[in-house]
């Protein structure tokens, strides 16, 4: 087995046993990035020289017995994370040459533990998209079939792990942007509860929805990475000050007696037959493991997509107003005055999908329409959150598909934004409710493309979520299937 095929926890063991060095691991990944990534386009920036220096430093710490949980582990980051001295673009021309002067909190925590940063990963521009075709630097391709999308917006992160180009990554999830690409690429992705992981130093899309989370090869790897970045941060006003449990401590407790809810609104007509079959098979596995499957209702689900695309675009309009060509980012100045400079800089810097969402959000917030659209969407959001809380009074976790279909072909939905938006119909409600959810592999389609199973947990119920996911994973072999690269 190649070093790049190992899971993160297997790499940890080999590093501790001195069977491999961090420099050897890092070189193996850098060589694979050089040979494989040109066909995938997962990386926007590769920090090879810095990575090898960090790996050598990690080896010295390990030799002195001072290594932490992630010391020497080669990781990569979605290019939405602020990284000191490393170009951070958010896959947008407007930030093409932006080099931040500081690290965000999640990045700083990884560095404190001695992780090695291989580079920054491609994404939909400003995290707006479901296919990773909206990047200003070219689409990411699915490692399972290069004619298909990897999902978005963390498509580069999911494709990176599926192609074994890093041990694990961090992505962000605003409406499914970790879970949907993880499902499409056959890897594991976790969106924590809103407030569990600091957003400080993460470029904002929709501030009340964005959340940082891990994408990795298996459930245990996700637990390790979540443990590393979770916790209160005074620099983030939405961070919640509550204890972080030891996620690995209960990982192997099993699901006997666990109540798993099946929301009737998620098992709809029109669900792809392969997705339906894979989900049914997963339900059968969990039942055999001793879980109790219970039907539950989330009655306001039908309003979730419309609600999300009002709230998210309104917040995007507000957040992206700061990109004006004055303080940082791209400036186009024809010398015809301030307003013209603003307009030209934004017109040249933003791509079509970002412009579309800014216009939608600005309209929803405009005088005379605020109450009719944005305010009403916030009221519906409260109803959706209450649906989840009511359901969790009866069950421990819920189980649904991640998406109605497996990955679709590159270009298939670009001309129809509404069809693209519906790709996230099963993931969006979790963000609106502010709770946690994850995707894990549960099958392959007849075209040989991965299918993802979504598990949804109570607010701050990541430990139970990981426990259920681990029990299912260990009873199946889907997480061992590798993209044929």
Contacts 24+ apart (CB under 8 A), 366-372: none
440-466 burial by CB neighbour count: b if 16+ within 10 A, else e?
Answer: bbbbbbeeebbbbbbbbbbbbbbbbbb
DSSP 431-444: HHHT-EEEEEEEEE
Sign, Cα dihedral of 61, 65, 66, 69: positive
* Count of other CB atoms within 10 angstroms of residue 198: 23
Q: Residue 246 class from Cβ within 10 Å (0-12 exposed, 13-18 middle, 19+ buried)?
A: exposed
Positive or negative, the CA dihedral 250, 255, 261, 267 is positive
Catalytic choice (22, 130, 177, 423): 177
CB-based contact 17:154 (threshold 8 Å): no
CA atoms of 90 and 88, how far apart (whole Å): 6
Distance from C-alpha of 381 to C-alpha of 124, rounded to nearest angstrom: 25
Short-list 480, 404, 452, 437, CA closest to 282: 452
For residue 139, CA distances in Å to 45, 158, 201 come to: 15, 13, 25
* Alpha-carbon separation of residue 14 from 6, 24, 72, 133, 458 (angstroms): 10, 11, 11, 37, 35
Quote the Cα angle for 449-164-8, to 5°: 115
Q: Kindly state the tokens that stand for 326.
A: 């004055």
How many helices and strands in the chain, by DSSP H and E? 15, 11
153, 198, 239, 345: the active-site residue: 153
- Using the Cα atoms of residue 99, residue 105, residue 111 and residue 115 in order, give the sign of their dihedral: negative
**Tokens encoding 200:** 């400080």
Q: Is 111 a catalytic residue?
A: no
- 3-state SS class at 467: helix
Look at residues 397, 454, 446 and name the one whose alpha carbon lies nearest to residue 425: 454
Q: Vertex 30, ends 26 and 33: CA angle to 5°?
A: 140
Residues linked to residue 212 through DSSP beta bridges, in sequence order: 172
Cβ neighbors of 186 (< 8 A, separation 6 or more) are: 144, 162, 441, 444, 450, 452, 478, 481, 483
Is 78 a residue of the active site?
A: yes
Contact between residue 291 and residue 408 where contact means Cβ atoms under 8 Å apart: no
Catalytic residue numbers, as ranges = 78, 153, 177
């Amino acid at each position: 087995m190649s070093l790049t095929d190992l899971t993160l926890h297997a790499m940890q063991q080999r590093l501790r046993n001195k069977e491999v060095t961090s420099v050897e691991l890092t070189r193996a990944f850098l060589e694979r990035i050089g040979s494989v990534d040109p066909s995938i386009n997962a990386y926007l920036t590769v920090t090879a020289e810095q990575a090898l220096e960090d790996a050598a430093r990690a080896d010295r710490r390990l030799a002195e017995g001072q290594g932490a949980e992630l010391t020497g582990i080669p990781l990569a980051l979605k290019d939405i994370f602020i990284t000191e001295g490393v170009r951070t673009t958010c896959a947008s021309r407007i930030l093409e040459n932006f080099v931040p002067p500081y690290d965000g909190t999640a990045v700083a925590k990884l560095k404190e533990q001695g992780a090695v940063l291989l580079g920054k990963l491609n994404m939909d521009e400003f995290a707006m998209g479901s296919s990773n075709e909206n990047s200003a630097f070219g689409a990411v391709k699915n490692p399972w079939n290069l004619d298909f999308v990897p999902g978005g917006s963390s498509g580069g992160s999911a494709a990176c792990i599926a192609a074994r180009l890093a041990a694990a990554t961090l992505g962000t999830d605003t409406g499914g942007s970790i879970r949907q690409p993880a499902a499409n690429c056959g890897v594991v992705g976790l969106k924590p509860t809103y407030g569990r992981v600091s957003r400080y130093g993460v470029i904002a899309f929709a501030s009340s929805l964005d959340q940082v989370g891990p994408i990795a090869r298996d459930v245990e790897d996700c637990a390790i990475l979540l443990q590393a970045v979770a916790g209160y941060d005074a620099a983030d006003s939405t961070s919640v000050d509550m204890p972080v449990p030891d996620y690995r401590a209960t990982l192997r407790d099993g699901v006997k007696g666990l109540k798993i809810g099946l929301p009737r609104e998620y098992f709809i007509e029109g669900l792809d037959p392969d997705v339906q079959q894979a989900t049914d098979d997963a339900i059968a596995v969990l039942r055999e493991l001793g879980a109790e499957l219970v039907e539950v209702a989330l009655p306001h689900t039908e309003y979730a997509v419309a609600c999300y695309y009002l709230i998210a675009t309104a917040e995007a309009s507000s957040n992206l107003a700061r990109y004006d060509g004055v303080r940082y980012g791209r400036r186009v100045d024809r010398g015809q005055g301030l307003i013209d400079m603003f307009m030209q800089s934004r017109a040249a810097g933003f791509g079509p999908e970002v412009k579309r969402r800014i216009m939608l959000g600005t309209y929803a917030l405009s005088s005379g329409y605020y109450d009719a659209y944005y305010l009403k969407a916030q009221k519906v959001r409260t109803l959706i959150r209450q649906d989840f809380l009511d359901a969790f009074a009866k069950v421990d976790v819920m189980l649904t598909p991640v998406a109605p279909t497996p990955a679709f072909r590159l270009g298939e939905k670009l001309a129809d934004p509404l069809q693209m938006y519906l790709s996230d119909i099963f993931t969006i409600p979790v963000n609106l409710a502010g709770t946690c959810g994850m995707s894990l592999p549960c099958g392959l389609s007849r075209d040989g493309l991965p299918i993802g199973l979504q598990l949804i947990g109570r607010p701050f119920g990541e430990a139970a979520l990981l426990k259920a996911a681990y029990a299912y994973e260990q009873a199946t072999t889907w997480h061992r299937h590798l993209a044929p690269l």
